Amino acid sequence: MIVRIVKLTFKTEEIANFEHIFEETKANIRNFEGCNFLELYQDVNSPQQFFTYSYWETQDHLESYRQSDFFKSVWSKTKVLFAAKPEAWSVTKKHTLA
């Protein structure tokens, strides 16, 4: 399993636009083949910063998503809202404590 963490920093005046895009697309992202989990977080102290966490069965599933027309369409609408370059990490989960 691959955990994808993406840090997104938006222009303050574009936060509502991003939240609207995410609301409209989150089900399609979550239901994309190989995606098993999706969450969106907003930083408590810097509300213009968001983080997405998604779980992917394999790196190939994640790459298939990233190369899809759906992703390209969503990304083209989202990237114009950024205040800073996004950062992304693909990691493997080592431990979970509940």
Q: What is the CATH number of the domain that holds 44?
A: 3.30.70.100
CB 29 within 8 A of CB 38: yes
Q: Say if 54 falls within a structural domain.
A: yes
- Residue 1: pLDDT band (50, 70, 90) is very high
Q: Say if 58 falls within a structural domain.
A: yes
Cα dihedral 39, 26, 59, 90, rounded to 10, equals -40
Bridge partners (DSSP) of residue 91 are 3
Q: pLDDT > 70: what percent of the chain?
A: 100
CB atoms within 10 A of CB 56: 22
Q: Which domain holds residue 40?
A: 2-91
3 state SS of 23: helix
Domain count, the chain: 1
- pTM for this one? 0.93
The model's pLDDT over 79-95, given as tens digits with 9 standing for 90+, comes to 999 999 999 999 999 99
CB 82 within 8 A of CB 49: no
